[in-house]
């Protein structure tokens, strides 16, 4: 039986080597039923879920490892929006279009017991039925085998198969282009496409902040009046839609920018702009000769080095005066000091004139744009294009692209401002280090500096990116129902609740950052109000929010005598000037 007729696809669907076989629908892929199904289909034991999941969408519901336990909140792992039945045993990867496009990252979150969130961020779903365009879009090992129409399936549309790789902070006058008309194979038909709608989905902070951090434009120059289009739209993926796609759905936690362009001139072309690292999906819908089509372009926004990103739900509002000022800290752990090290008061190598070891909004040398003496940790500056461009808050000709650097200190902002390029836009705080050395290690913290008009409870979220790939996602996230940690008590730099989020170690080979070892910091004696529910009393879990008000027995309450994160042996189990010996020892309570 022929498997390909030389152009329009197989005469019959045939027997593809990796057919899409889905386990019965479930809210717990580690409950046993999914593995029983996979075993009956000949899936090897190494790709079964067990109790921690296998990284695949085995019941084809758009979620990965839902219900499966994970060992440390905030950590991430690779995931694929295909079932384990569609994995090539020789490569341990999906085949066809899915090898690259169906891949994303899923994070560990939860309450009493941490589980995988199920959200495979940045991954695209395979098509239910293949098209006859070049490419194996249903990822079954055969190209062009449409099980319903055979050789009569349409060949006029070819969706993109290669991710678009971009850098953050693009030139504001030459934004990148996505031309959906190029997906139509017949040049003469491209002008016939109508009813264009564009939908863009981003990262975790785009679900937390009042408005997404990215935007869509009708032309390359973002400064032209009226060029920005689209509005904030909650969406969900509708498997029952024809074709299946992300659709507007009020009340959903997954946030997008959606622009219904209809038949406007140039409606099939958009210019997206991204200021943050991560994986994005750009979905284009259109009608051609009475048939609805949907294509999705995966966009990978990549910046070199390590990026720590902070956002929070109660970001300060300059109009109403109600909000919180939360600060991000990024401290280096190289070398030793003759005095204890700590946030804000970190020891300075080389005496009082040496570089401060904590990059944050101020301090003796400061780290934000415009500081007269930014911290110099021995790393060369980056090119201006690394930090100047669309969405950047840094000013040309001032401090430059130092390493490390804080792009913005978000004290107050306007929650009604939708334009990410407006100085009043409520964006995240982020600290970048483009060129770490091998084995350099850092610790990331979050401080509750102040609140106004009685707004006391702030829910922060921290992402860490390694060469633009998400390697940590910890904290509040409405898309996964994660509600902790909670910062309740403000106190400026000295007394506010302080969340020690994670340590990061850089792995560099031949001058290039190849990976990052990221370790979230748990509490030793969890405060259920700030850290999250206590899974095992006395064992500690969840986040580490040190506070004067911790509801844990003495002597496990944080002391504000100093702002030291490396303290004495009695408090943290280490000698003065050395790092804590265990992960939990970073936490004071």
Whole-number percent of the chain with pLDDT over 90 = 41
3-state secondary structure 385-454: HHCCCCCCCCCCCCCCCCCCEECCCCCCECCCCCCCCCCCCCCCEEEEECCCCCCCEEEEEEEEEEEECC
Strands (E), 19-86: 76-80
Q: Are strands 255-262 and 245-248 parallel, antiparallel or unpaired?
A: unpaired
Helix %, strand %, coil % for the chain, to 5? Answer: 10, 30, 60
**Helix/strand number for the chain, H first, E second:** 5, 27
Rounded Cα distance, 534 and 175, in Å? 48
Where does the pLDDT of residue 394 fall: very low under 50, low under 70, confident under 90, or very high at 90 and above? Answer: confident
Q: DSSP labels for 175-224? A: ---EEGGGGBSSGGGGGG-EEEEEEEE--THHHHSSS-S-EEESSS-TTS
Least-confidence region, from 397-401, 402-406, 465-469, 529-533: 397-401
Residues 6 or more apart whose Cβ sits within 8 Å of residue 59:
22, 23, 24, 25, 26, 29, 34, 83
Q: Above 70 in pLDDT, residue 54? A: yes
Let me know: does 298 contact 163? Beta carbons within 8 Å.
yes
User: Alpha-carbon distance 258 to 261, whole Å?
Assistant: 9
Q: Can you tell me whether residue 152 is helix, strand or coil?
A: helix
Contact 190, 286 (CB under 8 A): no
Cα(212)–Cα(324) distance, rounded to whole angstroms? Answer: 19
Q: Which among 483, 485, 474 has a CA at the least distance from the CA of 76?
A: 474
**Residue 271 pLDDT grade (very low, low, confident, very high; cuts 50, 70, 90):** very high
Q: Which residue has the higher pLDDT, 130 or 48?
A: 48
Q: What is the DSSP string of 456-490?
A: --B-EEEEEEETTEEEEEEE-BTTTTB----B---
Q: Which of 141-145, 178-182, 407-411 has the lowest mean pLDDT?
A: 141-145
Mean pLDDT, residues 250-269: 93
Which residues have CB under 8 Å from 440's CB, separation 6+? Answer: 332, 334, 505, 506
Q: Is the pLDDT of residue 451 over 80?
A: yes
- The residue with greater pLDDT, 432 or 495, is 432
How far, in Å, CA of 277 to CA of 469, rounded? 7
Lookup result for tokens 């400061």: 366
* Averaged pLDDT score across all residues of the chain: 83
For residue 20, give the 3-state DSSP assignment.
Answer: coil
CA distances 251 to 44, 200, 254, Å, are 40, 17, 9
- Is residue 541 within 8 Å of residue 523, measured between CB atoms? yes
- Residue bearing the bigger pLDDT, 216 or 393: 216
- pLDDT surpassing 50 at residue 352: no
DSSP secondary structure of 542-572: S--EE-TT--S-TTSSPP-S--BSS--HHHH
Cβ neighbours of 508 (radius 10 Å): 16
| pLDDT for position 350 | 42
pLDDT of residue 520 exceeding 80, the answer is yes
Q: Residue 533: is it exposed, middle or buried by C-beta count within 10 angstroms (0-12/13-18/19+)?
A: middle
Residue 555 in tokens: 């002597």
Q: Assign residue 50 a region (left: φ > 0; alpha: ψ between -120 and 50; beta: otherwise).
A: left
Q: What angle do CA 120, 122, 123 make, to 5 degrees?
A: 65
> How crowded is residue 28: how many other Cβ atoms within 10 Å of its Cβ?
15
């Amino acid at each position: 039986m022929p498997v390909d007729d030389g152009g329009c696809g197989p005469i019959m669907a045939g027997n593809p080597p990796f057919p899409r076989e889905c386990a019965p629908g479930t809210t717990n892929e580690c409950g046993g039923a999914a593995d029983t199904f996979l075993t009956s289909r000949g899936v090897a034991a190494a790709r079964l879920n067990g109790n921690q999941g296998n990284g695949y969408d085995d019941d084809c519901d758009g979620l990965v490892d839902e219900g499966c336990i994970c060992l440390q909140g905030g950590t991430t792992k690779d995931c694929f929006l295909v079932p384990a039945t569609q994995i090539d045993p020789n490569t341990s990867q999906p085949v066809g279009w899915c090898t690259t496009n169906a891949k994303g990252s899923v994070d560990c979150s939860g309450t009493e017991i941490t589980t995988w969130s199920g959200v495979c961020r940045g991954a695209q779903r395979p098509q239910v039925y293949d098209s006859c365009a070049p490419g194996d879009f249903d990822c079954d090992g055969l190209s062009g085998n449409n099980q319903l129409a055979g050789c009569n399936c349409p060949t006029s549309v070819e969706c993109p198969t290669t991710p678009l790789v971009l850098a953050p902070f693009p030139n504001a006058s030459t934004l990148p282009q996505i031309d959906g008309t190029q997906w139509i194979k017949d040049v003469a038909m491209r002008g016939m496409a109508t009813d264009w709608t564009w939908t863009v989905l981003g990262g975790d902070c785009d679900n937390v902040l009042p408005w997404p951090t990215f935007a869509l434009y009708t032309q390359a120059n973002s400064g032209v009046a009226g060029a920005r289009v689209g509005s904030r739209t909650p969406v969900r993926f509708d498997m029952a839609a024809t074709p299946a796609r992300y659709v507007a759905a009020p009340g959903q936690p997954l946030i997008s920018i959606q622009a219904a362009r209809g038949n406007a001139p140039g409606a099939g072309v958009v210019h997206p702009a991204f200021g943050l690292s991560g994986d994005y999906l750009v979905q284009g819908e259109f009608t051609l000769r009475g048939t609805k089509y949907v294509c999705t372009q995966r966009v990978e926004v990549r910046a070199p080095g390590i990026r720590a990103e902070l956002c929070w739900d109660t970001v300060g509002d300059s109009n109403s005066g109600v909000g919180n000022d939360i600060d991000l800290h990024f401290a280096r752990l190289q070398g030793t000091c003759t005095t204890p090290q700590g946030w804000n008061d970190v020891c300075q190598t080389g005496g009082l004139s040496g570089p401060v070891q904590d990059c944050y909004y101020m301090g003796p040398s400061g780290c934000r744009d415009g500081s007269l003496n930014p911290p110099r940790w021995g790393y060369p500056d980056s090119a201006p294009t690394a930090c100047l461009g669309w969405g950047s808050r840094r000013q040309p000709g001032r401090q430059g692209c130092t390493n490390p650097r804080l792009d913005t200190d978000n004290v107050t902002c306007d929650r009604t401002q939708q334009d990410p390029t407006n100085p009043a836009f409520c964006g995240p705080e982020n600290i970048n280090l483009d060129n770490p050395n091998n084995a350099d290690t850092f610790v990331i913290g979050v401080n509750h500096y102040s609140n106004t008009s009685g707004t006391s409870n702030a829910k922060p979220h921290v992402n860490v990116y390694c060469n633009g790939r998400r390697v940590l996602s910890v904290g509040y996230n409405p898309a996964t129902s994660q509600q902790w940690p909670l910062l309740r008590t403000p106190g400026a730099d000295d007394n506010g609740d302080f969340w020690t989020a994670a340590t990061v170690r850089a792995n560099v080979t031949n001058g290039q950052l190849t990976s990052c070892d990221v370790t979230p910091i748990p509490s030793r004696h969890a405060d259920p109000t700030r850290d999250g529910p206590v899974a095992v009393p006395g064992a500690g879990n969840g986040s580490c929010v040190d506070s004067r008000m911790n509801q844990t027995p003495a002597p496990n309450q944080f002391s504000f005598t100093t702002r030291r994160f490396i303290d004495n042996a009695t408090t943290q189990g280490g000698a003065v000037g050395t790092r804590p010996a265990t992960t939990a020892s970073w936490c004071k309570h």
